[in-house]
Chains A and B, each alone.
Chain A
Amino acid sequence: MQPEPLLSYAAAFASALLDPGREAPRMVTGPRGQSTLKCYNVYRNNVTVSLIDALAAIYPAVQRLTGPDFFRAMARFHIRETPPTSPLLFEYGRDFPDFIARYEHARSLLWLADIARIERAWLDSYHAADAPPLSPSALAAVAPEQLSSLMFTVHPATRLVRSPFAAVTIFAANRERVSTDRIDASTAEDALVTRPEFDVLVQKLPPGGAVFLDSLMSGCMLAEAAAAALEESPAFDLATNIASLLEAGIFTSLTSGGAR
């Protein structure tokens, strides 16, 4: 059966773009007697190189850690397996950290996927909606008996990445070029990603801080979040944690849970 002529050209043209093993589609020719494959390969190359460049722009610390050749080979595999589905390139690469985690040549770099998770969170924070952060003094206006039932709305640019490795320190050393002594990669670190004003900030959360913030982000009341944090880490300090989260501008409003 003849394929429907209008619908076939994009399907045929697209079919071999990400598969270098396939021949150039028969519907096209190289002009001036030039090889069709060579001419079609211009598009193949544009697609692959531009998408590798897009991943390199989203994951500069990962590229610095692996070196550009390793990174580009790894990115090429990922692009063939998972091409973008949105025309917005800043949405691309969400599956890349998981791909890195199971990429056999990166197995020795145990923490690499977590660095990628922080970089993906960084870009989400960068493009997130703007909102004025809650003033650090807002808590002072709350009656003491209402403190335990407080609930917070988290700023749209806030992200949390937990890692069993020293992901924040490695990220900072390779993306923000923060100089460090020898890094002990086996120290667990949780990353808080924020953008209170113009710049995205990545910082390390104190013990229990990630559970505390995660609980607040999922709508728990302050007392519930504090209890969860203490359960994970007896060293959790409520006053310090709430003060530093307010200072980091990660809340936009608060309500008393009793008022629900």
Chain B
Amino acid sequence: MNAAITPQTSAAIPLRYSLPIAGVAGTSFKHEHLAAILDDGPQRGFFEVHAENYMGAGGPPHRMLERLRRDHPLSLHGVCMSIGGPAPLDRAHLARFRSLIARYQPALISEHLAWSTHETSFFNDLLPLPYNKATLARVCDHIDEVQEAIRRPILLENPSTYVAFRSSRMCETDFIRTVAERTGCGLLLDINNVFVSAANHGFSALQYLADFPLSRVGEIHLAGHTEQNDAEGGLLIDSHDGPVADAVWKLFEIVIARCGPIPTLIEWDSNIPDWPVLKEEAAAAQAILDRHVRRTRHAA
């Protein structure tokens, strides 16, 4: 059997296989919350981490993630694969991603429709791409390569964007749908990104969601954004530094009503609050997911 696809679990800490998390809400995992999370005992929720933060050889990050993973399902969220870039994928990075998946057996694996590296420079941001035939073919090749390497489908996340490309020839939802159909990948629907992009580009978030291939969505992201105001009308910035906006909660309810309970993550990456605040946001998402399940049961 190919060693690359054999799950290699740590001998010291046996990992449980993933629990079904279809209608479960989760949060980003931040190291400063570990003690509070463990004090709460095993919970229903799942945790998501940025894959790159666990690509070191050893030390506390792995110990903390092992401890968390023992009792909770994990979502592995890649930030730096540069799937949306024109350059070939970084093979060393892909190998690191594959070994993390083998080690931690995440329930969910996702990456972005974006790029962050050009030539030798890494920009640490999710940069945009034009949507046309050439970029479509390249993105599909990259996703094929990732999925081939990890032997699992990934979930591709829709971006938040602030500019448009003159060379775009198709809309984002058509682009994403075609990528999913060609590669068999699932989708991570970031509803805050939809809201931010809709406001910035002046399209309807509801229309975007109507056009989005919801049947392929395997995870939802919810996050906070900030407003940057000026005389021209300003921009929304996808900042992940506060609570989820009311309008985004509303869109979330609409999506769940339409496609049923989907694992849903509260993303919070800067100005990180104490654990109870983050937990409360996840509980709010969980209540919406549970309400849908109850409603469906009553209807049945």
A interface list, Cβ under 8 A from B:
5-7, 9-11, 13-14, 17-18, 26-36, 38-40, 42-43, 46-47, 50-51, 54, 83-90, 125-130, 156-157, 195, 198-199
Would you call B164 and A42 a contact (CB within 8 A)?
no
Query: What are 21 residue pairs bridging A and B, where the CB atoms are less than 8 Å apart in the complex?
Result: A5-B167, A6-B134, A9-B86, A9-B135, A9-B167, A13-B118, A14-B119, A28-B128, A30-B162, A31-B201, A43-B128, A51-B124, A85-B120, A85-B122, A89-B52, A90-B56, A125-B59, A127-B59, A128-B57, A130-B62, A156-B57
Would you call B125 and A47 a contact (CB within 8 A)?
yes
User: Please, which residue of chain A has its CB at the minimum distance from the CB of B129?
Assistant: A9
Q: Report the minimal beta-carbon distance from B227 to chain A, rounded to whole angstroms.
A: 12
Would you call A39 and B125 a contact (CB within 8 A)?
no
List chain A residues, Cβ under 8 A from B201: 31-32
Would you call B165 and A9 a contact (CB within 8 A)?
yes
Query: Whole-angstrom distance between the alpha carbons of A156 and B59 in the complex?
Result: 10
List chain A residues, Cβ under 8 A from B120: 85
Query: Is B280's CB within 8 Å of the partner chain A?
Result: no
Would you call A198 and B60 a contact (CB within 8 A)?
yes
**Given the known A-B contacts A6-B135, A27-B166, A51-B124, are A87 and B117 also in contact in the complex, defined by CB atoms under 8 Å?**
yes
Query: Whole-angstrom distance between the alpha carbons of A159 and B86 in the complex?
Result: 39
List chain B residues, Cβ under 8 A from A13: 118, 127-128
Query: Whole-angstrom distance between the alpha carbons of A41 and B180 in the complex?
Result: 31
Would you call A31 and B163 a contact (CB within 8 A)?
yes
Query: Whole-angstrom distance between the alpha carbons of A125 and B59 in the complex?
Result: 8
Would you call A47 and B124 a contact (CB within 8 A)?
yes
Query: Is B282's CB within 8 Å of the partner chain A?
Result: no
Q: Report the minimal beta-carbon distance from B258 to chain A, rounded to whole angstroms.
A: 27
B interface list, Cβ under 8 A from A:
52-53, 55-63, 79-80, 82, 85-87, 90, 93, 115-125, 127-130, 132, 134-135, 138, 162-167, 200-202, 228, 230, 232-233, 235, 237
Q: A42-B162, A89-B52 are in contact. List 11 more A-B contacts (CB 8 A).
A: A5-B132, A9-B86, A29-B166, A31-B202, A32-B200, A39-B200, A87-B52, A87-B79, A87-B117, A156-B58, A198-B60
**Given the known A-B contacts A6-B138, A87-B80, are A34 and B232 also in contact in the complex, defined by CB atoms under 8 Å?**
yes
> Which one of A29, A47, A50 has the greatest number of beta carbons of chain B within 10 Å?
A47
Would you call A10 and B86 a contact (CB within 8 A)?
yes
Query: Whole-angstrom distance between the alpha carbons of A201 and B210 in the complex?
Result: 55
Query: Whole-angstrom distance between the alpha carbons of A35 and B167 in the complex?
Result: 18
Query: Whole-angstrom distance between the alpha carbons of A198 and B67 in the complex?
Result: 13
Would you call B163 and A40 a contact (CB within 8 A)?
yes
How many residue pairs between the two chains, A and B, have CB atoms under 8 Å in the bound complex?
A: 144
Shortest beta-carbon contacts, A-B, top 7: A127-B56, A87-B80, A130-B58, A129-B57, A14-B118, A28-B163, A6-B134
From B58, B63, B162, B166, A128 is in contact (CB under 8 Å) with B58
Would you call B235 and A38 a contact (CB within 8 A)?
yes
Interface residues of chain A: helix, strand, loop or mixed (majority)? helix
User: Please, which residue of chain B has its CB at the minimum distance from the CB of A42?
Assistant: B162
User: Please, which residue of chain A has its CB at the minimum distance from the CB of B122?
Assistant: A84
User: Please, which residue of chain B has its CB at the minimum distance from the CB of A157?
Assistant: B59
Would you call B60 and A14 a contact (CB within 8 A)?
no
Would you call B60 and A126 a contact (CB within 8 A)?
yes
List chain A residues, Cβ under 8 A from B60: 126, 198-199
Query: Whole-angstrom distance between the alpha carbons of A5 and B168 in the complex?
Result: 11
User: Please, which residue of chain A has its CB at the minimum distance from the CB of B201?
Assistant: A31
**Given the known A-B contacts A28-B166, A30-B163, are A89 and B86 also in contact in the complex, defined by CB atoms under 8 Å?**
no
From A18, A33, A84, A126, B59 is in contact (CB under 8 Å) with A126
List chain A residues, Cβ under 8 A from B116: 87
User: Please, which residue of chain B has its CB at the minimum distance from the CB of A26?
Assistant: B166
Would you call B164 and A28 a contact (CB within 8 A)?
yes
List chain A residues, Cβ under 8 A from B235: 34, 38-39, 42
List chain B residues, Cβ under 8 A from A34: 232-233, 235
Q: Report the minimal beta-carbon distance from B240 to chain A, rounded to whole angstroms.
A: 11
Would you call A84 and B124 a contact (CB within 8 A)?
yes
List chain A residues, Cβ under 8 A from B87: 10
List chain B residues, Cβ under 8 A from A17: 123
List chain A residues, Cβ under 8 A from B164: 28-31
Would you call A86 and B135 a contact (CB within 8 A)?
no
Q: Report the minimal beta-carbon distance from B244 to chain A, rounded to whole angstroms.
A: 20
Would you call A87 and B90 a contact (CB within 8 A)?
yes
Q: Report the minimal beta-carbon distance from A133 to chain B, rounded to whole angstroms.
A: 13
Query: Whole-angstrom distance between the alpha carbons of A30 and B138 in the complex?
Result: 25
Would you call A10 and B85 a contact (CB within 8 A)?
yes
List chain B residues, Cβ under 8 A from A26: 166
User: Please, which residue of chain B has its CB at the minimum distance from the CB of A87?
Assistant: B80
User: Please, which residue of chain A has its CB at the minimum distance from the CB of B81?
Assistant: A87
Q: Report the minimal beta-carbon distance from B56 to chain A, rounded to whole angstroms.
A: 3
